[in-house]
Each structure stands twice: as C-alpha cells, then as structure tokens.
Amino acid sequence: MRLLLISNSTMAGQPYLEYPMPYIKDFIGNQPIKLLFIPYAGVTVKYDDYEAKVKAKFNEIGHEIVSIHHFSDPIQAVQNAQAIVVGGGNTFALTHQLHELGLIDAIRNKVIEGTPFIGWSAGSNVACPSIRTTNDMPIIQPKSFNATSLIPFQINPHYLDAHPEGHGGETREDRILEFLEMNPKETVVGLREGCMFRIEGSQIQHIGEKSLRVFRHKTEPLELNSNENFQFLLK
C-alpha cells in the first residue's frame, strides 16, 4: 500500500499547494501518469474550478489529473485509476458523497491492491478508520462516520496548539481527549501544518519540520520528531 497523507494544502501566505508538491512529485515518480481527483470536499468552490486549480499544480510536475465528477460511473473511475488524489475542504460533505456513491469500499480495495493514494486535510481524514477527529463543521449528515480505514489510527490534520486569547471554547487537545474518553482503544495523531505521512507497505515516515503529537487514552501525549520510528502507529 502506498499513501501520502498531508495535513494541509497550503501554508498561510504561500500559493496554493506549494509546499507539498515536491513531496507529491517524489511520491508519484517521473513516469507521467494520469491521476484521479476526488473534489467532493469542495463546498464553496465548483468542482470544475477545484479541478482546474489542482490540475495546474500537477501539470507543473509533469502529470495529468482528471476529476471524478466527469465520469458517469464513479466506481469504475476509481477501479481504473492510476493514482487517487482526495482534496481538502469539508470532511462531512466529502464523506457523505463517498458513501452515497459507494466509493468508500471502491477506494479502499483499489488502494489495498497497490494504487497510490494522496490526500490532504479532509482527504487525509478519509484515509482513517473514521472521520471522528476532523475539525470541520458537520454541515451535512453522512450515512456513516466510517471512512476507508487505510491506516489503523486517526489523524487530526491542521493540528495546532494556539488558542485564541480570551476564548472560552475547547482547545484542540481538549477535543482529542474527549474523543479518547469515548473511544479509549484508539490512537490520534495531531499532524501539524506543513507535515505529512508517507506510507510504503509496512514502512511509515513523517515528513515536515514540526513535531507531531500522539494521543492515547490515559497516557501523557507524546511529542515526536520526524527522525523517530513511527512503526508503532501501524500496529
């Protein structure tokens, strides 16, 4: 299985998809391919416009990409894909549509067979067992919170420590501790912006300058750097 799971598309103040493209290029390789794009997390952007933005970036690194919304049979589009790319946006909108179209199993089966999977933000959430650690607003109710379970742990993308001054709402850590209280057997990784996981078969690598934060029930959170061994996450 080959996965590139990215925290966020864009660093504040930088152009769209700028920082992750060298890693995406390295992950895909030099042989030009045509990737399948899944734009369903886009809510305030039209699918055509979302595809055009993403296509411009993939063309720069020598690859073609086409959005699944052009296909009359989306399951078959997944089955024929050379690689699958799931863009960010609203995780509930994305998951709703994946369930409606029967794509959860289609993507899972295809990626298990070896087709590379790239996701950022909401796209990384749906590689997890469920979407229960998304930061997004539940703007639509999906049939189920279950996702593709390509990895056995939960990612919290855009993980951040900052909390608006004088604000009484929960911190991100508070929210994850609530998740663990309700789901004590699970592991959550706070993946900070500018960071990603690259998974190649049984190997997992964390890429990025920031550390990541691992949360388990009734255990002090672990703060780990990219040079640590993350194999324990795949067990």
Task: Report which of 62, 2, 5 is spatially closest to residue 201, judged by C-alpha positions.
Answer: 2
- Interatomic CA distance for residues 2 and 18, integer angstroms: 22
Select from 31, 113, 164, 220 the one that contacts a second copy (CB under 8 A): 164
Comparing CB distances to a second copy, the nearer of 44 and 227 is: 44
Biggest alpha carbon–alpha carbon distance for the chain = 52
73 binds a second copy (CB under 8 A): no
Least CB distance to a second copy at residue 31 (A)? 31
217 is catalytic: no
55 binds a second copy (CB under 8 A): no
Classify residue 221 by its DSSP letter.
P
Pick out residues in 32-51 that bind a second copy (CB under 8 A). 43-44
The size of the interface with a second copy (CB under 8 A), counted in residues, is: 45
- Interatomic CA distance for residues 231 and 235, integer angstroms: 7
How many alpha carbons lie under 13 Å from residue 191 in its C-beta half-sphere? 32
136 is catalytic: yes
Select from 140, 184, 205, 219 the one that contacts a second copy (CB under 8 A): 140
Q: Which of 7, 121, 124, 130 is catalytic?
A: 121
Burial 203-220 (b: 16+ CB within 10 A, else e): ebebbbebbbbbbeeeee
Report phi then psi at 119, rounded to 5: -140, 150
Q: What does the block give as tokens for 189?
A: 């990784």
70 is catalytic: no
Least CB distance to a second copy at residue 166 (A)? 5
* Three-state helix/strand/coil letters over 88-99: CCCHHHHHHHHH
Which range of residues in 48-56, 70-78, 109-117, 165-173 is near a second copy by CB under 8 A? 165-173
Select from 165, 202, 220, 235 the one that contacts a second copy (CB under 8 A): 165
3-class SS at 54? helix
Select from 38, 93, 94, 127 the one that contacts a second copy (CB under 8 A): 93
Q: Could you tell me if 154 and 189 are in contact, meaning their C-beta atoms sit under 8 angstroms apart?
A: yes
Which range of residues in 57-65, 101-109, 111-119, 155-163 is near a second copy by CB under 8 A? 155-163
149 binds a second copy (CB under 8 A): no
Taking each continuous run of H as one helix and of E as one strand, the counts in the chain are: 7, 11
Pick out residues in 184-223 that bind a second copy (CB under 8 A). 193
Which residues of this chain interact with a second copy, rule CB under 8 A?
A: 8-13, 43-44, 89-90, 93, 131-141, 144-145, 158, 160, 162-170, 174-179, 181-183, 193
